[in-house]
Amino acid sequence: MLSNVKYHLLKMVSSILCRMPYKNILAIGSFLGPAIMNRIPKQRNRGIEQIMTGLLCEREDAERLLNKVYQRVGMSAMEMLYMPRLCREKLHIDEYVSIDHPEYLEAAYAEGKGIVGLTAHVGNWEWLGAGLALHGYDTSAIGKKQKDDALMRIINEYRAESGEHIYLTGTGGYEMIAAARSMKKNHILGFLSDKDGDRVGIPVRFMNRIFSFPQGPVVFAKKFKAPVLPIFVVRNEDCIGNTIIGNTICVGKHFYYEETGDKKHDLLVNAQKMATIMEEFIKAHPADWMWFQHLFWTEPWSIEMYCRMTDEEKKEIIHGVPFAERAEGGST
């Protein structure tokens, strides 16, 4: 009953926002983001600590950056409720979400093997999927089922309205079967790869810490011999870094899972490559990443693969020496 009431309230707010100019809802989000998020000390402290560790900066700089992050998170929340308007204005999609290198996207689709979309919680990732779908690209993703039923219901409705296919976890494994089918249909399958991979993750160096990288993008890239496409969305900025109207989907050149015959070595090399690509993009657009998310809750000694590694292998991850360099040097 309560969930149903909340759902209808969200729909009402969404309807009101969709009648407003785009720049106005961004202004509202920019105000509400810091006003709300700064009242959650646990997330704020985590965000500051992770910025200081990841960017090796002083606390004052971290606090300033986090406030900018909060502004953009607020904008993304408003944009989520603005999705029906986005879908109605499909013919003007570039005014909301443009693509910087569509030729890279086309090249990956031309391979005909499905695409592993390497992405992260950068910018408005909901508009990344919706934007691709509204631009006419077959788009799928595996999503985590949220505890808030009302919010989950409205998000899924808006995703479907945009033409994006989402397969939710917690469906008895069906989401993996559906995801595999989408690859066979030559969809781009998006993986938010900045999520902790738990005990079964792959240990990599990420933001100056040992991180449990999720197996999903690595396993799918290997199984389907599919191109891996770095793809992120960021807010448009002017020449001095101020947010302006619109978002841009940034597409990199695709690459493939590299195999040498050494399965463990290959997992580590390819996961580290993906983590490094992700880190470099985040550092180039630090205000667009969710620094306050709980990333490192699996300690290194809890990662099964890390526990089975030699001391030398652990040192290479800790000190940031890529396994690929070791392979090129002729040792394994």
pLDDT computed for residue 315 by the predictor: 85
Contacts of 233 (CB under 8 A, 6+ apart): 97, 119, 122, 123, 124, 125, 127, 128, 131, 247, 248, 249, 250
**Which has more pLDDT, 146 or 322?**
146
pLDDT score of 325 more than 50: no
pLDDT tens, position by position, 266-301: 999 999 999 999 999 999 999 999 999 999 999 999
Mean of the pLDDT values across residues 8-34? 96
- Looking at residues 69-93, what average pLDDT do you find? 96
* pLDDT at residue 144 in the model: 78
From the candidate CATH numbers 3.40.50, 1.10.3470, 3.30.1890, 3.40.1130, the one assigned to the domain spanning 92-328: 3.40.1130
Residue 326, pLDDT > 60, answer no
Whole-number mean pLDDT of the chain?
A: 92
Q: How confident is the model at residue 240 (pLDDT cuts 50, 70, 90)?
A: low
Predicted local confidence at residue 317, as pLDDT: 85
Name the residue with higher pLDDT: 229 or 310: 229
Check whether 62 has a pLDDT greater than 50: yes
Does the structure show a pLDDT above 70 at 324?
Answer: no
In the chain, where are the structural domains located? 92-328
- For every residue of 161-225, DSSP letters joined together read HHT-EEEESSSTTHHHHHHHHHHHTT-EEEEETTS--GGGSEEEEETTEEEEE-SHHHHHHHHHT
Say which residue, 243 or 142, is predicted with more confidence. 142
Q: According to the model, what pLDDT value does residue 242 have?
A: 72
- The model carries a pTM of 0.92
